[in-house]
Every structure is written in structure tokens, then in C-alpha cells.
Amino acid sequence: MHFFHFSPAVTSFTSPVAFPPLAQSTVYSAFPQTGQTYGLPPFGAMWPGIKTETGLPEAPSGGQPGFLSFSTAYTSTQPGQLHYSYPSQGKLQPLPVSQDDALSLSGAALPTSVALPVAAREQDEVGRRNSVGKAKGKGKKTDNSPPTDSDLERIFLWDLDETIIIFHSLLTGSYAQKFGKDPATVLNLGLQMEELIFELADTHLFFNDLEECDQVHVEDVASDDNGQDLSNYNFLADGFNGPSGGGASGASTGVQGGVEWMRKLAFRYRRLKEIYNSYKGNVGGLLSPIKRELLLRLQSEIENVTDTWLSTALKSLLLIQSRGKCMNVLVTTTQLVPALAKVLLYGLGDVFPIENIYSATKIGKESCFERIVSRFGKKVTYVVIGDGRDEEFAAKQHNMPFWRISTHGDLVSLHQALELEFL
């Protein structure tokens, strides 16, 4: 009798089949990058009136105390996870944001249950962007970009090669080796694209003049520009020949670093910016019909051989861009002019405004990140996405989360994490 007395209690406590599914462990097995505790809250938590977290699966990170704050109990308990890391100490500490603060960021004190229509949100966003002043923080250089800071919440700092696009590894053979592709085919595609990149850079983007006068940002020499009308300016006959511009002609061209020489340098960067903005959505307009056909073929074949790598990365870029309170910024080790040529030829001009492109060739990624933090301020949360040690180290130095891109799966997981608003 005692046996039958206890049996129902045991059965009712331990045997229901509904218990195992509650763990939902398999949901996160496809998210190796979101399983590690880090200091970012789900993005939707910072969107009052847009989306609440009640409709989402619970974020797998434990002990996230509040909006934009680090968990004091955070420890890097998963040394085997190499996809991203979040150091517990560093110079940059995003500030806690209360619900009231979050509401003020949205531009109106809406109840959390109220959602603005998409068109209204976009109109509201444009209005606020146009009314906001310049960035807080004192940067060494002024980046003349659209007003930003007060309404931005997250900035994603992207590497270019082997993160968004596949280019350098086509030339070295490492992509073919890693993913089992035909080395000769892959190398040939890389060489053809390289030729297009430097042809565009030399022919239209002043790379012959600017190769030895490389800048971190397109506005770095803008202070030397006197605003002269360049409509009929003859760049071929102004005597500027890169760093040796003052050679035989003496005072007529000015010595390197002199006022006249710097002004001519600034003219080139101004025209470079105009060309980028004019053709960022139609780079074919800068190419001959034959080169245009070649570019279309190369884009298609590279997408095919890389198993739609760029298209997969674009999904995340466009999702971030659509949020309104987020921004994509490019930080590449390529020199600025060839980097701009790459961005245009790979069809990324509409994703990255020229003001949001930085070259780390001269100063390194850590210093680039420092400039970006100076431009946008420390209340913004930064997320670094890349494949290399340079950006990973720079992210750690600034206490920014780092998302490693090594395979297609990493790009897919990134997009899923963004969709679920874990990032």
C-alpha cells in the first residue's frame, strides 16, 4: 500500500514529458556566438514602444542587469569560445540607461505598448537627426558627417576584407585552401578584381596623386580647403605631383606641406568625396562598357565561388541600417582610396557613407577606434565585427564586444542574433 501511495507523487513530479523541451537547449546550439555572457542587453530593450522582450525567446546571457550596463559578475567562463569576446575591464564603459532615458532618446515619451508606424518613425528619425548638434567629445579631426550622437545607441565597427567581402584571400590562395575551391579559378578572379580596383582608384579617385598622401578619413585635410569652385579646375595641370609636388616648378606649385600644396591636396579629397557620393549606387557609370560587363561577371562569379559570402554579410548590414538608432562604420587596413574603390566595386556604397569609412593603414585600428569614440561619444555602445587579430585587440583595448567572422556560419549566426535583437 505504501508503494502505491508514493508512486503517483513520484510519477507526477518526474515523468512529465513537457519538462525537457523547456530547456530549449537546441535553440541556442545554432548560436555559438550568443551563448556567452556579455554586457549587451537585447537590442529591443532599448526600443520603448517598438518591441518588448516578452515576445522573444529569453536571451541566453545570464545576469544582464539593465540597459547598456555591464554585469559586475561577468567572467569569461568559456575560453573555448573564440567567436567573440568581451573583456571585463577597459577604458570604455557604456553608461547605464534607464527606461526614462531610453524614452527621451526616442524623441517622445511614448508608453512602452505604443508603436509608431514605420513611416512615422522614419519621419521622426529624420527630423531628430536634422535637429541634433555636432558630436560630443573632442576629436583631433572634424568628421563633417550628418548629426549623429544623441539618437544613436549602437555603432557596428566592421572590418572589410574577409569579413564583408572576400578579396585578399582570393589572391593569397587561403580562401581556396580553406573552403576547398579550385586555386587557379579563385586566383584568377582575385587578380581581375584587383586590376579593376586599382584602375578605378588611379583613373577616377586620384590614387596616383594620393598614394603617398594617404589619410585616415576623407575630411582630414578639409581645413586646408578654401572652398574654391572646382567645376572647371584642371587637376592634371595644377602642378600637384604627390609628395614631390614642389620639385622643379618651385613657388608655382608650392612645397610639400606648404599652404598651396595642402590646398591642392584638399581639392583632391573634396573631389574624391563628390565622385563617391555621385556614383556610390552606380559605379558602372565610372567604367567603360567593357569594364562594366567585366565587373558584373566578376561580381557574379565571386559570389558563386564564395558561396554568397557578400550577400550573407549584406543581410546584417542592411538590418542594422534599417534600425534607425544604429550605424555601420567601416574600419579597414586598406589605404583610403583603394578602400573606397573596393566599397564601390563590391556594391557597398549605399551601405557606407564616405564619412563612415576609416583607413587604419597609417595609425592602426586601435587609434581609429579612439577617433570614432571621440566622434560619437562614450554613451554609444560599440560592437566590433571582423576576422583578424588587429580589430580583436583594438576591441579589447576599448572594452568593446568582438564578433569573429571566420566562416559562412559566423555570418549567418550574426544575422540571426541581430534578428532576435541580441545585438
Identify whether 161 is a catalytic site residue. Answer: yes
Quick check: 218 pLDDT over 90?
yes
Q: Which long-range contacts (CB under 8 A, 24 or more apart) does 300-308 make?
A: 301/189, 302/166, 302/170, 302/189, 302/193, 305/181, 305/185, 305/186, 305/189, 306/166, 306/175, 306/179, 307/179, 307/408
User: CA–CA separation, 188 vs 194, rounded Å?
Assistant: 10
Is the residue at 94 inside a domain?
no
Active-site residue, selected from the candidate residues 161, 209, 220, 410: 161
User: CA–CA separation, 264 vs 251, rounded Å?
Assistant: 14
159 is in an annotated binding site: yes
Res 383: pLDDT: 97
User: CA–CA separation, 229 vs 224, rounded Å?
Assistant: 14
Handedness of CA 383, 388, 389, 390 (dihedral sign): negative
Is the residue at 200 inside a domain?
yes
Is the residue at 221 inside a domain?
yes
- What residues are paired with 328 via a beta bridge? 156
User: CA–CA separation, 356 vs 401, rounded Å?
Assistant: 19
- What residues are paired with 404 via a beta bridge? 386
Could you give the 3-state DSSP secondary structure of residue 111?
coil
User: CA–CA separation, 407 vs 179, rounded Å?
Assistant: 9
Report whether 219 contacts 353 (CB < 8 A). no
Give the pTM.
0.67
Active-site residue, selected from the candidate residues 159, 209, 220, 225: 159
209 is in an annotated binding site: no
Report the domain count for the chain. Answer: 1
Is the residue at 89 inside a domain?
no
Which amino acid makes up residue 188? Answer: N
Is the residue at 71 inside a domain?
no
* Phi, psi (rounded to 5 degrees) for 215: -120, 160
Res 242: pLDDT: 58
Condensed to tens digits (0 to 9), the pLDDT of residues 395-420 reads 999 999 999 999 999 999 999 999 99
Quick check: 248 pLDDT over 60?
no
Condensed to tens digits (0 to 9), the pLDDT of residues 140-170 reads 444 444 435 568 999 999 999 999 999 999 9
Is the residue at 229 inside a domain?
yes
Quick check: 317 pLDDT over 50?
yes
Is the residue at 202 inside a domain?
yes
What pairing do the DSSP bridges indicate for beta strands 84-85 and 402-404? antiparallel
Quick check: 213 pLDDT over 70?
yes
Identify whether 225 is a catalytic site residue. Answer: no
Res 103: pLDDT: 28
Q: Which residues contact 3 (CB under 8 A, 6 or more apart)?
A: none
Q: Which of 8-12, 128-132, 260-264 has the highest mean pLDDT?
A: 260-264
Is the residue at 124 inside a domain?
no
Give the residue numbers spanning the domain of 292.
154-240+256-420
Give kind and range of the element (H or E) at residue 320. helix 309-323
Q: What is the CATH number of the domain that holds 300?
A: 3.40.50.12350
Quick check: 422 pLDDT over 60?
yes
